[in-house]
Amino acid sequence: MLDPLLLRKDIQSVALQLKRRGFELDTKLFNELESKRKTLQSETEALQAQRNQSAKAIGQAKAQGEDVQPLLDAVANLSDELKFKQSGLNELQNQLNTYMLTLPNLPDESVPGGKTEDENIEISRWGDPTSFDFEPKDHVDLGADLGMVDFEVAAKISSSRFVVLHKDIARLQRALGQYMLDLHTTEHDYDEVYVPYLVNAESLYGTGQLPKFEEDQFATRTEPGLYLIPTAEVPVTNIVRDEILGDSVLPLKRTALTPCFRREAGSYGRDTRGMIRQHQFEKVELVQVVRPDESWDALEALTGHAEQVLQNLNLPYRKVCLCTGDLGFSSTKTYDLEVWLPGQSSYREISSCSNFLDFQARRLKTRWKNPKTGKNEFLHTLNGSGLALGRCLVAVMENYQMANGDIAIPDALQAYMRGQTIIKRDA
RNA sequence: GGAGAGAUGGCCGAGUUGGCUGAAGGCGCUCCCCUGCUAAGGGAGUAUAGGGUUUAUAGCUCUAUCGAGGGUUCGAAUCCCUCUCUCUCCGCCA
């Protein structure tokens, strides 16, 4: 959520910044609601003050045994009037609040302008696209040939955009997850957490998936409704919802391996082949909750932690800075890491690392007691994938494939595969 | 799933014949004083959010908040209703 004070004070500048990411702020609507709110709130509170005063007077008069009837008559219709104003005010505030919740974060000045992902800026490349002395296959064919990746049976037991993995490929995915968690907890100083995979609506409001992206979520039908998490970001970040943190626990760095569930409602024609875009996938998530003046450094560091995984697996990738039009709803700046996929001859997103500044913290009411000011202030939150396991599995299969269709196991993972070095067809 | 108990400020804990109770008391914390160390003692302060005023801060002022939401009433931490969560016992289960 944006700072309401900022909207009241300098709505034009907010509108200008939002326009950069293609969002039209209805300044007229906001100003109208806001000025109505102002007068209505003042009137309501004046009436409340009046009510409080007379109630007090009645109490005192009664204590002294005086006749209170005249006083009662004087406030006879006050309560009705108050009720009327109050319900009007409540409605208006709900309206205003709902509107505020639909406003995306302001893009940082350093974020390049642009409309689509084509205008994202490449920051750096690591490694060269893997070269083969044969025609490389994509992971779908590789998986089918190995007999370990089955989309048809997944469609039977669930629907499209699911997969069943067998034997060494299933195990390789598990190895990837274990490896990443161990790397982040031992080398990058994250604390591992295990979290619920079903969350309530409040949590989704907190991190920004609701109210705008309801159609992207899987929801249960029970009452109250719970949602399948679209990313571990939701439960991990919401741990600090409604909390005031002490300075000594900061920065908070947490990592979790969870499945992620996405309806992919708006992407019907896209990535229908293979494991790139699934309704269910595993992901190791990195979350940081930091002091406000540390978040920019933290973004660079966190992105580096995700990059380290790719480097250790020797997977070629590039780092891009998302342009304003491609930026996620809650983010002020995002780096994507795109891994090289020989099967598609292209770089594909495998990690997305974002700084949210206080946008989420304001929704979450996550604050700290700033020792310098002695006041409660909003913290900054960040997160990034470190990494998406499904896509990482794809990347390993395609980059490590051999001419005969076997797949070499990256050195870093062999310890997690009991020393196995190759995945063979008849495993 | 059944039966019962409970939810008050950073923590503990008063307060249910409704009326200066935003809320006693204690602990903790901050500042000051005293004490040559340690221990102890004395004093003061110590919730959050929002509105108005202000260039802004401070200040001043108003409002809200005793799990959440509604109701009764001139007036609710106290009475009524609904919900959520926690605890105990039983059942069931991994």
For the residues A135-160, what does the mean pLDDT come to?
96
Q: Exposed, middle or buried by CB within 10 Å (0-12, 13-18, 19+), for A156?
A: exposed
Does residue A55 lie within 7 Å of nucleic acid chain B, judged by its CB?
A: yes
Residue owning tokens 């491609």: A326
A134: left (phi over 0), alpha (psi -120 to 50) or beta: beta
Q: Is the pLDDT assigned to residue A427 strictly greater than 60? A: no
Tokens of A400: 């490590």
State the pLDDT at residue A233.
96
The contacts of residue A299 (CB under 8 Å, 6+ apart) are: A333, A335, A353, A354, A355, A382
State the pLDDT at residue A122.
97
Q: Is the pLDDT assigned to residue A297 strictly greater than 80? A: yes
Return the closest-CA partner of residue A101 out of A324, A325, A329.
A329
User: How far, CA to CA in Å, does A325 sit from each of A2, A256, A286?
Assistant: 18, 29, 24
Interatomic separation, CA of residue A402 and C1' of nucleotide B10, rounded (Å)? 62
State the pLDDT at residue A398.
97
Q: What are the pLDDT digits (tens) for A50-68?
A: 888 888 888 888 877 777 7
- Sequence-ordered alpha helix ranges (H) in A187-290: 201-207, 233-238
Confidence (pTM) = 0.92
Nucleotide nearest to A62 (CA to C1'): B19
Range in A5-14, A206-215, A222-231 the model is least confident about: A222-231
State the pLDDT at residue A267.
77
Nucleotide nearest to A367 (CA to C1'): B48
State the pLDDT at residue A97.
87
Which nucleotides of chain B are near protein (any atom < 7 Å from a CB)? 19-20, 48-52, 62-64, 70-71, 73-75, 84
Give the integer Cα–Cα distance in Å for A206 and A74: 46
- SS3 (DSSP) at A318: strand
Q: What are the pLDDT digits (tens) for A82-94?
A: 888 888 888 888 8
Does residue A160 lie within 7 Å of nucleic acid chain B, judged by its CB?
A: no
State the pLDDT at residue A413.
98
Interatomic separation, CA of residue A248 and C1' of nucleotide B39, rounded (Å)? 29
ipTM: 0.82
A161: left (phi over 0), alpha (psi -120 to 50) or beta: left
The contacts of residue A313 (CB under 8 Å, 6+ apart) are: A392, A395, A396, A410, A412, A413
pLDDT tier, A223 (very low <50, low <70, confident <90, very high otherwise): low
Q: Is the pLDDT assigned to residue A76 strictly greater than 70? A: yes
Give the integer Cα–Cα distance in Å for A359 and A3: 8
Q: What angle do CA A208, A249, A209 make, to 5 degrees?
A: 5
Interatomic separation, CA of residue A212 and C1' of nucleotide B27, rounded (Å)? 46
For the residues A144-162, what does the mean pLDDT come to?
95
Q: Is the pLDDT assigned to residue A185 strictly greater than 60? A: yes
Nucleotide nearest to A200 (CA to C1'): B84
Residues of chain A with pLDDT > 90, as a percent, come to 65
Q: What are the pLDDT digits (tens) for A106-147?
A: 999 999 999 999 999 999 999 999 999 999 999 999 999 999
